């Protein structure tokens, strides 16, 4: 049974946080949130959460029996806690809101334990591994990929600023500020310079050398057109930015401007002879502006690779499964360039 299916919960069982957000504090008896309860069950003993158990993606919308909860809790010693795919940061944010809505102290305690996990997992150099404590293979790399490290830093910056339901963790502000400072220092150290000119960032870095690193077979060393957006926006959150931060932001924006691909779009097309009846190709589209996911560091040209890790110049050259199963192009920097950066620049010049 899914929570999205119509059903009635008694007052003692409580209401979902989504409903409670729509009617804040409408009933003081609301003390239980089913989604939050599921999150408590999946929280690992170390404080973080998995994104999947085995190959099964964690689904918090599933209504669990008490026996299922017990079995899940019995697995709490697993070392699969991660910040990948929004895991751990998603749960902390949800639980912080659930506590505000329900007043259930268990949700606050679980979110706090999650924050402790984030602080513990940070490297001395300021970066975060994708998984902790399991840092085997690329799990130990400093991971900007899919905004993993940036999601962490945004939560810590929320604590510093007392925003987005994180005012309840005021006791963590000094720790969060120190952690943010270290994280920003890592970001500045890992911004890639080409011929003396700062550009953007790779999606992952060696945790020891801070050099760009390969992750999965099709995620080679590159300049990232996607992850670099979140990194830039995080730097723009910093109040009274240092000259170094200002240069980093302006350099990244300049790179986005010169690396955009005009009059093309990356679209699904009908392909009856191929699996699932579709393909995904780069097609001409006047007025469209996109960016590639990966750019060669030396040439600044977009590139692609399949599961054989061979670098090619067009997406059409990689296997069909990877063509349709990965975000090779996107409009990620669009809002940054059109709205966020001009506002940041205006405030900076006014300050």
CATH number at residue 253: 1.50.10.20
Q: Residue 261 pLDDT > 90, yes or no?
A: yes
The backbone region for 302, taken as left when phi is positive above 0, alpha when psi lies in -120 to 50, beta otherwise, is beta
Residue 111 inside a domain? The answer is no
**Is 135 in the active site?**
no
For residue 268, what are the CA distances in angstroms to 125, 226, 297, 327? 41, 20, 28, 12
CA-CA-CA-CA dihedral for 127, 132, 137, 142, to nearest 10 = -10
Number of domains in the chain: 1
Indicate the pLDDT class of residue 30, thresholds 50, 70 and 90.
Answer: low
Q: Residue 22 pLDDT > 80, yes or no?
A: no
Higher-confidence position of 324 and 18: 324
Residue 34 inside a domain? The answer is no
**Integer Cα distance of 193 and 228 in angstroms:** 14
Q: Residue 90 pLDDT > 90, yes or no?
A: yes
User: Which residue out of 106, 135, 216, 237 is catalytically annotated?
Assistant: 216
**Integer Cα distance of 35 and 41 in angstroms:** 10
Residue 70 inside a domain? The answer is no
Residue 246 inside a domain? The answer is yes
**Is 216 in the active site?**
yes
Q: Residue 31 pLDDT > 60, yes or no?
A: yes
**Integer Cα distance of 283 and 262 in angstroms:** 11
Residue 4 inside a domain? The answer is no
Q: Residue 5 pLDDT > 90, yes or no?
A: no
**How many residues are there in the chain?**
351
Domain with 297, as residue range(s), is 190-351
Residue 227: Cβ-neighbour burial (10 angstroms; 0-12, 13-18, 19+) = buried
Residue 134 inside a domain? The answer is no
Residues 6+ positions from 255 with CB-CB distance below 8 Å: 198, 199, 200, 223, 228
Give me 300's structure tokens. Answer: 């600044």
Residue 271 inside a domain? The answer is yes
Average pLDDT over every residue of 61-88: 94
pTM assigned to the model:
0.90
User: Which residue out of 38, 44, 85, 151 is catalytically annotated?
Assistant: 85
Average pLDDT over every residue of 297-315: 97
Q: Worst-scoring range by mean pLDDT, 19-33, 151-165, 304-318?
A: 19-33
For residue 340, what are the CA distances in angstroms to 337, 343, 345? 6, 5, 9
Residue 287 inside a domain? The answer is yes
């Amino acid at each position: 049974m899914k929570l999205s299916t119509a059903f009635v919960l008694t007052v003692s069982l409580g209401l979902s946080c989504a409903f409670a957000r729509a009617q804040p504090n409408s009933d003081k008896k609301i003390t239980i949130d089913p989604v939050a309860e599921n999150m408590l069950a999946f929280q690992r003993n170390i404080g973080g959460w998995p994104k999947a158990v085995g190959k099964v993606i964690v689904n918090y919308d599933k209504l669990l029996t008490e026996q299922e909860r017990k079995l899940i809790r019995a697995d709490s010693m697993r070392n699969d806690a991660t910040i990948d795919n929004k895991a751990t940061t998603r749960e902390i944010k949800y639980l912080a809101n659930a506590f505000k809505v329900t007043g259930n102290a268990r949700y606050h305690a679980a979110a706090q334990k999650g924050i402790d996990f984030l602080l513990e997992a940070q490297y001395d150099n300021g970066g975060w591994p994708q998984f902790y404590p399991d840092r085997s293979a690329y799990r130990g790399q400093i991971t900007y990929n899919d905004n993993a490290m940036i999601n962490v830093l945004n939560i810590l910056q929320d604590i510093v600023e007392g925003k987005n339901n994180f005012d309840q963790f005021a006791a963590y502000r000094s720790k969060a500020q120190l952690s943010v400072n270290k994280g920003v220092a890592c970001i500045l150290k890992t911004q890639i310079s080409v011929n003396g000119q700062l550009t953007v960032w790779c999606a992952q870095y060696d945790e020891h050398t801070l050099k760009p690193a390969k992750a999965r077979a099709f995620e080679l060393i590159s300049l990232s057109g996607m992850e670099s957006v979140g990194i830039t926006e995080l730097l723009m959150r910093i109040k009274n930015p240092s000259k170094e931060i200002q240069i980093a932001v302006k350099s990244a924006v300049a790179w986005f401007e010169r690396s955009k691909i005009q009059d093309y779009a990356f679209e699904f097309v009908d392909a009856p002879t191929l699996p699932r009846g579709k393909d995904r190709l780069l097609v001409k589209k006047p007025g469209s502006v996109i960016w590639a996911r990966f750019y060669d560091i030396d040439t600044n040209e977009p590139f692609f690779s399949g599961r054989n890790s061979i670098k090619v110049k067009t997406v059409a050259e990689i296997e069909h499964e990877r063509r349709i199963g990965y975000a090779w192009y996107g409009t990620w920097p669009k809002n940054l360039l059109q709205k966020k950066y001009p506002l940041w620049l205006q405030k900076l010049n006014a300050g």
